[in-house]
Amino acid sequence: MGEFELIRKYFAAAPCAQGGEGIALGIGDDCALLAVPPGEQLAISTDTLVAGVHFADPCDPFLLGQRSLAVAVSDLAAMGAHPLAFTLALTTPTVDADWLQRYAQGLNTMALSCGVGLVGGDTTRGPLSLTLTVFGRVPAGLALTRSGARPGDLLCVGGELGNAAGALPLVLGQRSAEASIAEPLLAHYWSPQPQLALGQALRGKATSALDISDGLLADCGHIAKASSVSLLIERQKLPLSAPLLAFLGDEGARDAALSGGDDYVLAFTLPPAELAPLLADGWPIHVIGCVAPGQGVVLLDAAGQDVTPVIHGYQHFRETL
């Protein structure tokens, strides 16, 4: 099978590649064309997943298809953008029909659930890696950036933390757990649900936002830096799931929530007056701290003592910097 046959069979023919709202031209030409309404801006983000770095190889290609798109679309959620489309640059060592079929099915499932259409990409031979670029639209001036947090704002998250980090030893085969624990944790890892609706509901309300991909402490550090403020996190207030607590215990679950990556839950800052109406509308918002003058992230224990750990999240190339 040649490159063009592969593209046609597995990607151009997928239901998610048949166009949709905002897609003026999809796969098949030199460029796709997207339509952005007047007064809106295009939000763009790229993520690369490399075999052996971002996912174990081999792994289930259907799950990889879901996850590779979810982590990219999560960045649109973090900006409060409405999803439009995505491209896929696939580098693969071999043409494995079964693998491609199941990868494309996982991708398609997540694309339909997020409302993004596949509009193009690139297909090359080499070590397995996936680069997905997502496109969304957001009313001009209303995108949720990292730089607007102000002292006095509440620090909030959009759901339970640490589940994906809890799943990692299960994914890597280092530990096992009974199904009632393993299944919900693995579902968070393999099929994170980008918080698109929450991101859009926070437009004009949250003063800053991001999606937690590298761990709460590390990602809050990005908001603190971009906004020139300090973020205070109360360790006792972290929302934790019952399966995570059962698997790791209270201390372990809190550590997973603070330092583990891959949650893809939104973290954001909110003026106090905005909280009650959002909660009344049923949004899953948990207040975990506040914004203060200063810089950096401070972790406080139940007694209000500073227990900030030194190591924050995962960084590529850390050893060379």
Binding site residue list: 30, 45-47, 54, 75, 121-122, 146, 211, 213-214, 262, 314
Around Cβ 92, how many Cβ atoms within 10 Å?
Answer: 19
Q: Nearer Cβ to ligand ADP, position 30 or 319?
A: 30
Which partner in Mg ion, ligand ADP, none is near 29 (CB below 5 to 8 A by kind)? ligand ADP
Around Cβ 136, how many Cβ atoms within 10 Å?
Answer: 32
Which partner in ligand ADP, Mg ion, none is near 7 (CB below 5 to 8 A by kind)? ligand ADP
Whole-number minimum distance, CB 122 to Mg ion, in Å?
10
In this chain, which stretch among 37-45, 121-129, 163-171, 190-198 interacts with ligand ADP, using CB under 6 A? Answer: 121-129
In this chain, which stretch among 25-33, 39-47, 50-58, 229-237 interacts with Mg ion, using CB under 5 A? Answer: 25-33
Q: Nearer Cβ to ligand ADP, position 17 or 256?
A: 17
Does the footprint of ligand ADP cover residue 126 (CB under 6 A)?
no
Whole-number minimum distance, CB 221 to ligand ADP, in Å?
35
Tokens of 98: 């079964």
- In the chain the beta strands, taken as DSSP E runs, fall at 23-25, 33-34, 40-50, 82-92, 117-125, 129-139, 154-157, 208-211, 230-234, 266-270, 286-292, 296-300
As annotated, the binding site for substrate includes 54, 262, 314
Does the footprint of ligand ADP cover residue 114 (CB under 6 A)?
no
Q: Nearer Cβ to ligand ADP, position 49 or 275?
A: 49
Give dist(CA 151, CA 230) in Å, integer: 8
Gap between the terminal Cα atoms of the chain: 43
As annotated, the binding site for ATP includes 121-122, 146, 213
Around Cβ 281, how many Cβ atoms within 10 Å?
Answer: 9
Place of tokens 């460029």: 31
Residue from 283, 257, 112, 277 nearest 199 by CA = 283
The 18-37 site mask, x for binding ligand ADP (CB under 6 A), equals: ---------xxxx-------
Q: Nearer Cβ to ligand ADP, position 43 or 104?
A: 104
- Strands in 117-125's sheet, in edge-to-edge order, are 40-50, 129-139, 82-92, 117-125
Give dist(CA 15, CA 115) in Å, integer: 12
Interactions with Mg ion, residue window 29-58 (CB under 5 A): 30
- Can you name the residues that pair with 274 across neighbouring β-strands? none
Amino acid at 185: L
Give dist(CA 177, CA 183) in Å, integer: 9
Q: What are phi and psi of 188, to 5 degrees?
A: -65, -40
As annotated, the binding site for Mg(2+) includes 30, 45-47, 75, 122, 211, 214
Among 20, 61, 106, 120, binds ligand ADP (CB under 6 A): 120
Which partner in ligand ADP, Mg ion, none is near 70 (CB below 5 to 8 A by kind)? none
Whole-number minimum distance, CB 4 to ligand ADP, in Å?
7
Q: Nearer Cβ to Mg ion, position 31 or 172?
A: 31
User: What are the CA-CA distances from residue 303 to residues 157, 252, 295, 306 (Å)?
Assistant: 22, 19, 22, 9
In this chain, which stretch among 26-34, 40-48, 160-168, 262-270 interacts with Mg ion, using CB under 5 A? Answer: 26-34
Amino acid at 278: L
Query: What residues line the site for Mg ion (CB under 5 A)?
Result: 30
Query: What residues line the site for ligand ADP (CB under 6 A)?
Result: 7, 11, 27-30, 88, 90, 118, 120-123
